[in-house]
Every structure is written in structure tokens, then in C-alpha cells.
Structure 1
Amino acid sequence: MSSLVLLHTRYQFLEHLRVPIAIVASVFFPTVAMLAFVVPFAGDHPLAATVGTASMTMFAVMSSSLMGLGIGVADDRGKPWDPYLRTLPAGPFPRFAGRMLTSLAITLIAVVPVMLVAALLTEATATPLQLLLGLGALLVGALPFMMLGLLVGYSLPAKAAVAVSQVLFFPIAIGGGLLGNPLDPPAFIGAIAPYLPSRGAMELVWAATTDLPATPLALVMLAVWTIVAGAAAVWAYRRDEGRRFQ
């Protein structure tokens, strides 16, 4: 089974390299957001710069996971190769796992320029252990967004997936406080943020890289979103399989 997962991961990653615009977009937008929102407003303050950098890395995670998977899966479903793969006896797990590992690989690529901007242009600080823990927190925080991306991809055609993934992405990012001052958000954002997966994922990274504690409500809701979105993604896969292969 592990060899099949690695094979699907390799295939999916090579597909992205052949049409690299998705990787370019995943790298471009978080880096620009880092330059626009963190460097000029929080770059001189070590804690604020570190928190802002963590937020922009989560922005990269959301982009590559939710939008990348949602649009990519929907596009693949429209190609004749996808129905053939789904007739093979391996089952859905290798493809699911391969897509998720590919998404994580693109996320790691997207995080690199954000970290370079933080190191060169801000006073953000983190020990090697904090960086390692922060990376682990990013991978955990990516799970609900990957599940949401798979849900969108297996539920909708490609054109609709583009619109719906964007409609989901920006409210979740803004509502979680990623594009504002996460330490002092407006009252409305502060009220809804703990219930969104972006906030829980962001606070998990904060806790790993700074002395800021994560709030229990945000972490519980992160787990709830992961479980519910995962179950919905499996349902969408089986529903699509039942419609197309019955």
C-alpha cells in the first residue's frame, strides 16, 4: 500500500510540475501578503513579526490545500484518465493519500519564500526547535483545508469548483484574522474567529513558535472541522463514484 501511495504522490507532483502555474500561485500570493501586511506594519516588532509570519504560512497552507485540491480534483474528474484509475482494484486510499501528500509538498514550497522574507526583512525570531514544531503544526492545521478541498473537488465540476473554493477561502481567511491584526482583531472578527478552522490552525502555529497559548475553543473547533470535512470528503467521493460508475 505504501508503494502505491508514493506512486500516486509522484504522479500527482509531476503533473503539477508540468503545469506549474498552481505552484507559482501558491508561492506568489502568501509572499505578496507577507510583504504587504507584515513587513511594513509589524516587521520591527519581534513578537508581532513572528505571529504575522505564522499567519502568512497558514495563508499558504490554505491556498495550496483548499483551492489547489478543490480545483485540481475537479479538473482531473473531467479527464478520461481519472475514470480509468478509479476502476483499478487499489481503492480510493492511495489516491486520497497521494493528493494530500502532494498538497503538503506544495505547501512546503510555498512556505519557503515567506520564511525568507521574515528572516531578511523583519525581526521575527524562532529557535530551530520552534521552527520544527511550527512545521508540524502547519501540517496538522492543513488537514481540514485539504478535506474541504477534496469535498469541493469531488462534488462540483471544474468551473464551479474555482468559484466555490474562492468563496470558501477568503471568508475563512478573513474571518480567522489572517489578513488583519491577529492579536487585536475587530470585534466581529474576534467573535467568529474561534469557530473557524483558520483561527485554530493559526493559533496552533503560534503556540509552537511563540509563547502565546492556543485557546481551547479554537483547537476544539479545528478538530471538529477536520472530522466533519473529512467525513464529507469521503461521502463526496462515494457519491461521485456511485453516479459515474453505477
Structure 2
Amino acid sequence: MSELVVAHTRLLLLEQIRVPVGLLASALFPAISMVAFVVPFAGDDPKAATMAMGSLMFFGAMANSIINVSITVAQDREQAWNPYLRTLPAGPLPRFTGRILSTLAVTLVSVVPVLLVGIFLTEASITPLQLLLGLGVLLAGTVPFMLIGLFIGYVMAAKAAIGVSQVLFFPMAIVGGLLLPPQILPDFVEVVSPFVPTRGVAELLWAVTAGTTPDVVALISLACWTVVLAIAAAWAYRRDEGRRFS
């Protein structure tokens, strides 16, 4: 089984490398935003620069988790190869695990440009331990968003998945405080912000990298969202399996 997981992970990574548009977008857009908005306006403030660096690192990771996963899953469903794999004795687990591992690997690569901008062009201050903790939170924080991607990919066609994933992604990023500091968000947005999953991950990132105190409501909301999304993704998979193989 482990050999199959490695084979599927390698295959999915090669697919990403051969068509690197998604990886480039999730890596370069946050880095460009960092250079354009953080370096000139908050680059001299160590705490603000560190928080912004964490937010934009997660912005790229979140894009990869929602948009890339939803589109690739939906595209796989439209090809004959994927249903065939699901009928083999090994079942869907190797492919499923390979997708998760390849997504996490791409996530780690996508955050490097933002990290480099933060370290060399701002006063962001982060120790090696804080960086490791931040990367751990980043990877764990992508889980609910991969679940969103899986849900969209299993219930929608590829063309629909492209639009829906993008429509969901940007509002969650904005409301969650990834592009603007929470303290300058409009009042009505600040009220809603703790209840979106992006804010919970951001709070954890800010806590481990910048030493802030996380919002308890946002953390509880993140945990609830993760459970609900896991149930929704499992239902979507079973629904798709029932339609194809029953």
C-alpha cells in the first residue's frame, strides 16, 4: 500500500510540475501582494510585518487547497482513468492519500516566496522554532480547505468547480483577515470574521509567529467547521460513488 501511495503522490506532483500555472499563481500572487502592500506600509513594524507574512503565506496555501483540489478532483471524475482506479482491489485510498500529500508538498513550496520577502525586505521577526510551529499550523490549517475542495470536486463538474471555488475563496480570505488586518475591517465584517474558518487558522498563525492571543470564538468555529466539512466531503464522495457504481 505504501508503494502505491508513493506512486500516486509522485504522479500528482509530476502533473503539477508539467502544468505549473496553479502553483505559480498561489506562490507569486501573495509574494507580489507582500511587496506592494506590506513592505512599504508595515515593513518597519516587526509585529505587523510578521502577522502579514503569516497571513499571506496561508493565503497561497488556502488557494492551492480549495481551488486546485476542487478542479483536479472534478476533472478526474470526468476521465475514464479515475473510475477505473476506484474499482481496483487497492480502492481509492492510495490515490486519495497521494492527493493530500502532493497538495501539502505544493503548499510548502508555494509559501517560500512570501517567506523570503518577509525575511529580506521587512522587519518581520521569527525564530526557527516559531517558523516550524507556523509551518505546522499552516499545513494543519489547510485540512478544512482541502475538505471544501473535495466537496466541490465531488458534487460539481470541472467548469462549475472553477467558478465556485474562486467565488468561495476570495470572500473567505477577505473576511478572515488575510488581506487586511482585523482591526481595520468594517464593523459588520469584524462581527462575522471569527465565524469563518480562515480567521481561526489566521489566529493560530499569528499566535505562534507573532505572540498574539488567539480569539477563542474563532478557534471553536474552526473546529466546528472542520467536523462539518469532513462530514460533507465524506457524503459527497459516497454520493458520487453511489451514482457511478450502483
Shorter-chain TM-score: what band?
Answer: over 0.9
Q: How does 1:1-246 map to 2 (within 5 A)?
A: 1-246=1-246
By how many angstroms is 1:40 displaced?
Answer: 2.0
After superposition, the C-alpha distances for 1:49-70 in whole angstroms (9 at most, x for unaligned) are 0000010011011100001101
**RMSD of aligned Cα (Å):** 1.2
After superposition, the C-alpha distances for 1:99-135 in whole angstroms (9 at most, x for unaligned) are 1111111111110000011011111010000001001
Q: Which amino acid aligns with 1:19?
A: V
Structure 1: stretches of 5+ with no match in the other structure: none
Equivalent pairs counted in the alignment come to 246
By how many angstroms is 1:213 displaced?
Answer: 1.4
- TM-score scaled by length of structure 1: 0.96
After superposition, the C-alpha distances for 1:191-211 in whole angstroms (9 at most, x for unaligned) are 111101100001111111121
By how many angstroms is 1:90 displaced?
Answer: 1.7
- TM-score scaled by length of structure 2: 0.96
Separation in structure 1 between the aligned mates of residue 77 and residue 197 of structure 2, nearest angstrom: 27
Separation in structure 2 between the aligned mates of residue 2 and residue 55 of structure 1, nearest angstrom: 34
Structure 2: stretches of 5+ with no match in the other structure: none
By how many angstroms is 1:36 displaced?
Answer: 2.5
After superposition, the C-alpha distances for 1:149-193 in whole angstroms (9 at most, x for unaligned) are 111111100000000001110111111111112343221221111
**Contact 2:177/2:202 (<8 A) preserved:** no
**Contact 1:26/1:106 (<8 A) preserved:** no
The alignment-based identity, stated in percent, is: 57
After superposition, the C-alpha distances for 1:13-62 in whole angstroms (9 at most, x for unaligned) are 11111212121112122112222332222111000000000100110111
Separation in structure 1 between the aligned mates of residue 4 and residue 226 of structure 2, nearest angstrom: 25
Separation in structure 2 between the aligned mates of residue 37 and residue 97 of structure 1, nearest angstrom: 37
**Contact 1:26/1:60 (<8 A) preserved:** yes
Separation in structure 1 between the aligned mates of residue 68 and residue 49 of structure 2, nearest angstrom: 27
Separation in structure 2 between the aligned mates of residue 16 and residue 185 of structure 1, nearest angstrom: 35
- Give secondary structure in 1 for the equivalent of 2:184: coil
**Contact 2:85/2:92 (<8 A) preserved:** no
